């Protein structure tokens, strides 16, 4: 009898844990603060930091480290990202902790002797890794904006998670199963990811816990120097990578001026170069604003056609003009000039798709002198932070740091490996985004904050999804401002995407009726149905001050608040 009771009790506890951690909450409506991330545990950790007196930045730091443990697909310490922070008084800040090309990187490093791209070289294994920025980025955020001023406290939940373990969700089990073979091929030694993992099993990462403790003790130096750096460099050397100790030591994240523009009287703050968000989003909003998008109706062929045509033109510019501005002159003024954008739309026809072969990047004669996982947080004082952080592809290069237990990014693939050859996201690039030592690779990550016309905070949002990040962020903002959807409706609505090349509209399967698709095809569009586009975590402050946090329904994403 006693035994039976024990068994029932254990299975009760077990089922509570798994259900608490897998049943993600998609919408919270609260009065004080909200934290929306890709994983329920990370959202709760962030919220607790705020309840304990931390601000949005403190919560973001705790979330970033927690995601590196409970969301290894994209959460990271060996990746990079961008943060847009808006203080309660409206002042905006942008932190660029993007990876960069190591000193030994060369333009032709992924080409064979005949000049052909070596398959997967920029995607899998040690050569695909860019010098990571996340730990320095968190240290920078901490130094400048922490309210708690207690780094130990911010790191402790991640350390506990790694050391004591957590329960994997069903989506994580499926997700890991898909990459198991590749992980075992790429990693010569046993890692935490060697054995297949099941949902509801406790997942402990001892080596990662040790690395996190080193970072807890010495902040950035715990990662970029000492035994942790030694293990990183050894992993490079054992696996044909080129990042050395100096690359690590010299990594520095950069404070930048946020890209700022207006759409229907709303100020929008997003990430400037090396993220393409600061160019593509203002271009798309400006081109769209010359038409009556709302009048075309929500998700009608008319509206989808307009947006796809605008995106086609903006992505042509992205491909050919954008790259790290420290290395190339990017004609920013020209690219965002109203007259130029109106000129771009002269070839727009309401009835017919313009084939991408007839759309080129803009040509400027008057050269000017001289751009994953996302989380959104609003704290109880009204400060807001949007952070998008990534290993690039899921589980990055698939290479786990030997003796470190964490995934290394494959961000080098965001460079244009060879002009005209598409990357992981089908994006092509030109001279402006070619590989150069010390250069940051062009990004689409778009952490974004929107104000009301009265200048108070309206929305905080962002998404993973490579090139589709830009259009996911655009559509959620447009769904709210143009089509008056509530935040949940705006985030969960089906999405579509055009990126110039390939010349097609990607549309979420089952999200659009057959009539809409037929009309778009009649206009000359090629439609490619895909499972899902983007994974948006968003917060909206309603007129009466209610904070609405919405997590994307597409995966385990979770909104917390109080």
Q: Which residues bind ligand DON (CB under 6 A)?
A: 372, 390, 392, 411, 414, 443-445, 464-466, 469
Nearer to ligand DON, 389 or 479 (CB): 389
3-state helix, strand, coil in the chain (%, to 5): 40, 15, 45
Identify the active-site residue in 191, 235, 270, 372: 372
Show Cβ contacts of residue 479 under 8 Å, excluding neighbours closer than 6 positions: 298, 485, 489, 490, 493
CB of 470 to ligand DON, least distance (A): 9
Nearer to ligand DON, 128 or 547 (CB): 128
Active site residue 194: no
Nearer to ligand DON, 404 or 464 (CB): 464
Cα separation of 344 and 129, whole Å? 37
Nearer to ligand DON, 235 or 443 (CB): 443
CB of 50 to ligand DON, least distance (A): 26
CB atoms within 10 A of CB 544: 6
Show Cβ contacts of residue 550 under 8 Å, excluding neighbours closer than 6 positions: 26, 27, 36, 487, 488, 490, 491, 492, 536, 537, 538, 539, 540, 559
Show Cβ contacts of residue 384 under 8 Å, excluding neighbours closer than 6 positions: 56, 85, 86, 376, 377, 378, 449, 457, 460, 539
Show Cβ contacts of residue 535 under 8 Å, excluding neighbours closer than 6 positions: 38, 373, 374, 463, 464, 465, 552, 554, 555, 557
Beta-ladder partners of 558: 37
Nearer to ligand DON, 216 or 410 (CB): 410
Cα separation of 545 and 496, whole Å? 31
Cα separation of 482 and 485, whole Å? 8
* Distances, alpha carbon 97 to alpha carbons 92, 136, 412, in Å: 16, 7, 15
Nearer to ligand DON, 383 or 433 (CB): 433
Cβ-in-10-Å burial (0-12, 13-18, 19+) of 107 comes to middle
Cα separation of 109 and 126, whole Å? 13
CB of 503 to ligand DON, least distance (A): 21
Q: Measured at CB, which residue is nearest to ligand DON?
A: 372
Please answer whether residues 449 and 269 qualify as being in contact, where contact means their C-beta atoms are separated by less than 8 angstroms.
Answer: yes
**What is the DSSP code (8-state) at residue 85?**
E
Nearer to ligand DON, 390 or 560 (CB): 390
CB of 502 to ligand DON, least distance (A): 17
CB of 269 to ligand DON, least distance (A): 18
Please answer whether residues 266 and 451 qualify as being in contact, where contact means their C-beta atoms are separated by less than 8 angstroms.
Answer: yes
Q: Which residue bears the tokens 């050569």? A: 127
Cα separation of 409 and 127, whole Å? 10
Task: Find the angle CA(115)-CA(420)-CA(497) to the nearest 5 degrees.
Answer: 145
CB of 65 to ligand DON, least distance (A): 19
Q: What is the dihedral of CA 231, 232, 238, 243, to 10 degrees?
A: -150
Nearer to ligand DON, 279 or 469 (CB): 469
CB of 278 to ligand DON, least distance (A): 13
Nearer to ligand DON, 414 or 556 (CB): 414
C-alpha closest to that of 400 among 122, 170, 182, 94 = 182
Active site residues: 372
């Amino acid at each position: 009898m006693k035994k039976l009771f024990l068994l029932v009790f254990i299975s009760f506890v077990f089922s509570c844990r798994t259900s608490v951690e897998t049943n993600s909450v998609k919408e919270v409506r609260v009065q004080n603060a909200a934290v929306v991330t890709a994983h329920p545990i990370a959202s709760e950790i962030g919220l607790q930091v705020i309840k304990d007196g931390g601000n949005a930045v403190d919560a973001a730091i705790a979330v970033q480290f927690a995601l590196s443990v409970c969301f290894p697909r994209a959460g990271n310490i060996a990746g990079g990202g961008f943060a847009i922070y808006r203080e309660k008084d409206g002042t905006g800040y942008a932190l660029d902790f993007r990876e960069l090309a190591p000193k030994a990187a060369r333009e032709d490093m992924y080409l064979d002797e005949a000049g052909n791209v070596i398959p997967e070289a920029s995607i899998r294994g040690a050569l695909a890794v860019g010098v990571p920025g996340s730990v320095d980025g968190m240290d920078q955020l901490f130094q400048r904006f922490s309210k708690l001023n207690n780094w130990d406290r911010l790191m402790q939940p991640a350390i506990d998670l790694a050391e004591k373990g957590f329960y994997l969700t069903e989506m994580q089990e499926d997700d890991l199963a898909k990459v198991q073979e590749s992980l075992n091929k790429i990693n010569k030694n046993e890692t935490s990811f060697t054995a297949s993992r099941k949902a509801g099993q406790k997942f402990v990462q001892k080596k990662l816990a040790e690395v996190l403790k080193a970072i807890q003790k010495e902040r950035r130096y715990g990662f970029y120097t000492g035994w942790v750096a030694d293990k990183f460099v050894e992993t490079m050397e054992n696996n044909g990578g080129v990042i050395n100790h100096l690359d690590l030591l010299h990594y520095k994240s950069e404070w930048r001026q946020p890209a700022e523009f207006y759409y229907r009287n709303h100020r929008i703050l997003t990430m400037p170069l090396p993220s393409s968000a600061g160019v593509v989003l203002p271009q798309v909003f400006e081109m769209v604003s010359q038409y009556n998008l709302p009048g075309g109706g929500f998700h009608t062929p008319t509206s989808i056609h307009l947006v796809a045509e605008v995106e086609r033109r903006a992505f042509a510019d992205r491909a050919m003009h954008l790259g790290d501005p420290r290395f190339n002159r990017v004609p920013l003024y020209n690219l965002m000039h109203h007259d130029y954008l109106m000129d771009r739309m002269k070839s727009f026809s309401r009835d017919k798709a313009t084939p991408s072969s007839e759309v080129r990047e803009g040509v400027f004669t008057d050269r000017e002198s001289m751009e994953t996982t996302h989380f959104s947080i609003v704290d109880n004082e009204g400060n807001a932070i949007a952070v998008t952080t990534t290993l690039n592809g899921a589980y990055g290069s698939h290479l786990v740091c030997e003796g470190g237990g964490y995934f290394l990014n494959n961000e080098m693939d965001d460079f244009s490996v060879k002009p005209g050859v598409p990357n992981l996201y089908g994006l092509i690039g030109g001279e402006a985004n070619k590989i150069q030592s010390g250069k940051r690779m062009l990004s689409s990550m778009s952490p974004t904050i929107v104000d009301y016309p009265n200048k108070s905070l309206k929305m905080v949002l962002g998404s993973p999804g490579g090139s589709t990040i830009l259009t996911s962020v655009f559509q959620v903002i447009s769904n709210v401002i143009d089509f008056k959807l509530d935040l949940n409706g705006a985030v969960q609505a089906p999405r579509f995407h055009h990126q110039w090349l390939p010349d097609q509209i990607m549309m979420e399967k089952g999200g659009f009726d057959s009539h809409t698709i037929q009309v778009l095809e009649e206009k000359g569009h090629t439609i490619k149905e895909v499972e899902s586009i983007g994974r948006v975590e968003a917060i909206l402050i309603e007129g009466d001050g209610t904070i609405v946090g919405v997590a994307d329904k597409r995966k385990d994403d979770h909104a917390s608040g109080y």
